[in-house]
Structure 1
Amino acid sequence: MPEIITIGDAMVTMNPLRRGPLRFSDTFERTAGGAELNVAIGCARLGLSTGWISRLGKDEFGRYLKHFAQGEGIDMSHVSFSQHAPTSVNFKEINEDGSGRTFYYRHPSPITSLKANDIADRWFGSAQIFHMTGVYPAIHPEHRAVMMELLKKAKAHGVTVVMDPNIRLKLWDADEAKETLTSFLPYVDVLLTGDEEGELLFETQVPEEIAAQAQAYGIHTVAVKMGAQGSFAKRKDQQHYCSARKPRKIVDTVGAGDGFDAGFIYGLLKGLTLEETLTFANTIGSMVVSVSGDNEGLPYLEDVLAILNEEKTIER
């Protein structure tokens, strides 16, 4: 049984082979993407036992995604195929500085046929962490009731709930996102948010103020991701700022937040201090942006430790 479980759809990601406006891109490479899948992959590569809950289209893209995730060592016992919707696809636009946009083709998503009673209680009985994001409830209004049922299952089994708001305003508007995500906060133990998402939820980008408002819901640990400015975390009466680790080169910023989440979850499970956890998570974020793709840059544990221990790499 996995110690970490997460729920969300996955997509075939089409990465352009040239940079600039998508309308000028005519050649793409097919890869796998999806916020929750990225976190599952990140945790698995760090040596953590990870399970993913999802539904894929019963098509060639769905088979590709399932085989890919299985190859990463993720428990796929709660991933099934749906004949009622094709596997979701997204196309990425990447600028010269590594920033970009994503264009989604995911309606209807095959995961919409998934119901709360499709997920065995025993998974929550053995898990230590239930990771969730704001992407899954944004895809379809019916997902919000499913998520609430899963949160109640997690709390009933004493599972730590980790939430990344991961707000995608292409999927829902700001008011809808705020109302839905704040309704989940009483069930959350650990909040991993970006500063802009913190502003949407709590009307402030000041990390200490975000943490104070989140803790009013009973959340015991809050981390605020601030990109090149580093990160901040507060756990009860402890708090710490951590500078960003400078990446070798910024190639593609997609997936950096997912990598941070995986690193923070690793720190939680391994009993690292708040400072050690932030340093570990920031390091993974900097490694991810140095590689093109949603999850290609997610490192293995030995790679992170080599950077933290400043080991020299033997290239040849």
Structure 2
Amino acid sequence: MPPAVLVAGETLIDFLPERPGPLETVSGFERRPGGAPANVAVGLARLEEPVSLWTRVGDDPFGRYLTDVLAGYGLPETYVELDGDAQTSLAFVTHDENGDRTFSFYRDGTADTRMEPGRIDDDTLATTEWVHAGGVALSSGRSRDATLDLLERAAEQGCTVSFDPNARPELWRDEDTFERVSRQALEYTDVCKATVEELRALGCQGDSLEAVARNALEYGPHTVYLTRGSEGAMVVTNDDAREPDTLVEHDGYAVDVVDTTGAGDAFVAGLIAALRNGRPLAETLAFAGAVAATTTTETGAMTALPTRDAVESMLEANDAGD
């Protein structure tokens, strides 16, 4: 049976450092499953949403480990591909003293760059409610064409399409290519989630966060979520949205941050789950923010994603605090 939500993109190995500091000073790392789309898909599964993941990993020890992990979270194997001719991508993560992170990717010709257009057929898309993709898959290889093809056909089939630019400058040949390709993805997008830095890299301009987000609406989406880390998030819409011409803000949650890896992906999972279940924008922001905030209280990305009960507990505690 086709999934209600289809997420497309990379699954990889994150190597998390044993302590904060630059990569050259860290001697020990812990292996964790990662990749933004994979995190989103697992996040949705943890929130009890019906979801499938279209991804490609190497037929190597890391890839086989990842397929076992995805299966363990209940994701169907239908669109999880093993590539016998390419390796699985690796990402080494470093943290500063505030938990913020940077990435060093080993992703030259790896399996996730070799996704093929047409893998998801039109009949599947015709019965799929929501399709989500991220920007890393657009950065290189055949996966760029495969992702753009998927988003275009999903839009034609009436799916709700969401997109996270997930800017990683080290993966792109130049800023102009990132802007051009990501703007092409936005043409097929209904809901965009991004940071202000990512929107500015896409060419969006404005003297305020709201103005930058509203400028992004001109490129295709009817709804733009702008995340601000510990300061919360905002959402703006145009006349095509369910709540037209709206601005809603949320201040976020006070938590003890351990690791911000995957917080943006957790936010995406939360907003898709909330919107699919008909929550208004204000509740969507609160719910997605709670998913993201809970994720930052543990190390890792996928392994820190919360259950629906944990998110609802945070929301209840926050309401009681008010």
TM-score by length of 2: 0.91
- Which residue in 2 is equivalent to 1:50? 51
Q: How far, CA to CA, are the matches of 1:28 and 1:213 in structure 2?
A: 41
- Which residue in 2 is equivalent to 1:219? 221
CA contact (8 A) 2:183 2:219 kept: no
CA contact (8 A) 1:155 1:187 kept: yes
Most deviating of 144-153 and 286-295: 144-153
CA contact (8 A) 1:254 1:294 kept: yes
Shift of 1:205: 6.8
Q: Counterparts in 2 of 1:135-284, with a 5 A limit?
A: 135-140=136-141, 142-172=142-172, 173-201=174-202, 202-204=204-206, 206-235=208-237, 236-247=244-255, 249-284=256-291
Q: How far, CA to CA, are the matches of 1:58 and 1:70 in structure 2?
A: 16
Q: Counterparts in 2 of 1:70-149, with a 5 A limit?
A: 70-140=71-141, 142-149=142-149
Which of 297, 301, 304 is equivalent to 2:311?
Answer: 304
CA contact (8 A) 1:51 1:74 kept: yes
Shift of 1:109: 1.4
Shift of 1:99: 1.7
CA contact (8 A) 2:89 2:112 kept: no
Give structure 1 regions of 4+ aligned residues with deviation exceeding 3 angstroms: none
Aligned residues: 309
Q: How far, CA to CA, are the matches of 1:176 and 1:282 in structure 2?
A: 31
Which of 302, 307, 320 is equivalent to 1:295?
Answer: 302
TM-score by length of 1: 0.93
Q: Residue deviations 1:142-164, cap 9 Å, x none?
A: 33322221122102211000011
CA 205–81 in structure 1, closer or farther in 2 if over 3 Å, else same: farther
Shift of 1:23: 2.1
Q: How far, CA to CA, are the matches of 1:139 and 1:292 in structure 2?
A: 29
Shift of 1:5: 0.8
CA 205–223 in structure 1, closer or farther in 2 if over 3 Å, else same: farther
Shift of 1:300: 0.4
Q: How well do the aligned residues superpose, as a CA RMSD in angstroms?
A: 1.6
Indicate the SS of the match to 2:303. coil
